[in-house]
Structure 1
Amino acid sequence: MRVLITGAAGRIGTMMRTRLRADGRTLRLLDVTPLSAAEPGEDVELVTGSVTDPEVMASACQDADALIHLGGISRESTWAETLDVNINGTQVVLEAARDAGVPRVVLASSNHAAGFREIAEAGHDGVPADSPPRPDTFYGVSKAAMEALGSLYHSRFGMDVICVRIGSCFDRPPDLRGLSTWLSPDDAARLFEACLTSPSPGYRVIWGVSDNTRRVYSIAEAEALGYRPQDNAEKFADEFAGTPALTGDAARYLGGPFCTAPLGVPN
């Protein structure tokens, strides 16, 4: 099995390079930044190029059995840059996958696609993963567009497309809000593995979070694909003792302080 991973030199891509290794699996790693050479025994293929380049993507998709699209701008940026890389780039990726006959695509969406959904919407298991988009930033808009493109390519061409609304994937929660949004690297690998192996998922939108004590996101939809999270951000809670709680809109909405941050200002 050959899995193409875009954005492989980024934070999540780097963490997945080792965690998604498996017998009989070749990882084809693509990024605009040159990648480190293969380690002994590592079955990887390295591609340098941009997700916005149709020729690069057409070549990278050849003979791929699945694609995990992590490439793009992972922060708030100008509208022009966000449009070019995150929205146009996603369409280039999906079109190349369609043309090459890649049957399954996993798209790295974000909680910011639904950042203006209220935390109060959370039911017993949390805010449903397929809640309609309510983006909180230009970045969030690009992820909502990504989900829409994924839906289109599934409906038009029958591709399996899973959109993962990632919370915050770091080695440890970055802040107090992260005790709710954290996706551990190991759970991220478990989630992507479920996305790759679940039989005939069709089109799905799921949250990408660990089973955190404070989570407000439903993981039922991801569990339906076979995801079994094993980590909980609560073990880091003491690190944030004394940190002031969020207030106002930052406490009201899923996007937290991103809901009031300046639009289009790179961070």
Structure 2
Amino acid sequence: MIFFMSSISRGIVVTGANGFVGKNLRNFLHKNKIKVLGVSRKNFRKHASEVKIISTNLLEPKLQTKLKNYDALIHLIGIGRQSSKSTFEEINLNLTKNVIKACKNAGIKKLSLSVVLVFLEATSQIILFQNTRLNAK
């Protein structure tokens, strides 16, 4: 994470800001005086210096306008179990595609995706490279 933050001057967007990892990441960034835009589908408590957006559509214009003020995005939204309301394809694939599209539109060049870990077994023993192939079910 430190190498990622060394070139951050305008701040970091965190999707899934209300989840376990999102909350802890936002706390870490706040302690290190990094500007944060937290994005979640549910309301959450924010730090005084943080910008908060409640949204389920990462391509909506109000969010796109705000994204232009940040250097990087850390995408923490993903599901490990499907339901009739949320499928792997809908959340882990299509939502991630929208995140990438939103970053392109906003000129964000640094993007970290955690959703790929949902597809892996024994993730602590696997090293992912740019061309690692995943077998999603």
Q: TM-score category by the smaller chain?
A: 0.7 to 0.9
What 5-or-longer segments of structure 1 have no aligned partner? 118-125, 136-140, 142-262
CA distance in 2, matches of 1:116, 1:15: 23
CA distance in 2, matches of 1:57, 1:87: 20
Aligned-residue CA RMSD in angstroms? 2.8
Q: How does 1:51-62 map to 2 (within 5 A)?
A: 52-55=57-60, 57-62=63-68
Q: Helix, strand or coil for the counterpart of 1:5? A: strand
Query: How much does 1:26 deviate?
Result: 0.8
Name 1:239's counterpart in structure 2. none
CA offsets per residue over residues 154-200 of structure 1, 9 Å max, x none?
xxxxxxxxxxxxxxxxxxxxxxxxxxxxxxxxxxxxxxxxxxxxxxx
From 20, 26, 29, the equivalent of 2:38 is 29
CA distance in 2, matches of 1:62, 1:90: 18
Q: How does 1:84-123 map to 2 (within 5 A)?
A: 84-115=90-121
CA offsets per residue over residues 231-267 of structure 1, 9 Å max, x none?
xxxxxxxxxxxxxxxxxxxxxxxxxxxxxxxx7xxxx
Query: How much does 1:61 deviate?
Result: 1.6
From 59, 72, 79, the equivalent of 2:78 is 72
Q: Helix, strand or coil for the counterpart of 1:54? A: coil
Q: Aligned pair in 2 of structure 1 residues 26, 134: CA closer, same or farther (>3 Å)?
A: closer
Name 1:16's counterpart in structure 2. 25
What 5-or-longer segments of structure 2 have no aligned partner? 1-9
From 87, 96, 100, the equivalent of 1:81 is 87
Q: Helix, strand or coil for the counterpart of 1:20? A: helix
**Runs of 4 or more consecutive aligned structure 1 residues displaced over 4 Å after TM superposition:** none
From 44, 53, 56, the equivalent of 1:47 is 53
Q: Aligned pair in 2 of structure 1 residues 37, 106: CA closer, same or farther (>3 Å)?
A: closer
Q: How does 1:108-187 map to 2 (within 5 A)?
A: 108-115=114-121, 127-130=126-129, 132-135=132-135, 141=136
Greater Rg over alpha carbons, structure: 1
Q: Helix, strand or coil for the counterpart of 2:21? A: helix
Q: Identity across aligned pairs (percent)?
A: 20
Q: 8 Å contact 2:75–2:115 — kept in the other structure?
A: no
CA distance in 1, matches of 2:43, 2:99: 19
Q: Helix, strand or coil for the counterpart of 2:108? A: coil
Query: How much does 1:106 deviate?
Result: 0.7
Query: How much does 1:62 deviate?
Result: 2.1
CA offsets per residue over residues 198-241 of structure 1, 9 Å max, x none?
xxxxxxxxxxxxxxxxxxxxxxxxxxxxxxxxxxxxxxxxxxxx
Query: How much does 1:132 deviate?
Result: 3.4
**AA in 2 matched with 1:90:** T
TM-score, normalised to structure 1's length?
0.41
CA distance in 1, matches of 2:127, 2:24: 27
The structure with higher relative contact order (CA 8 Å, sep 6+) is 2
Q: Helix, strand or coil for the counterpart of 1:67? A: strand
Q: 8 Å contact 1:114–1:132 — kept in the other structure?
A: no
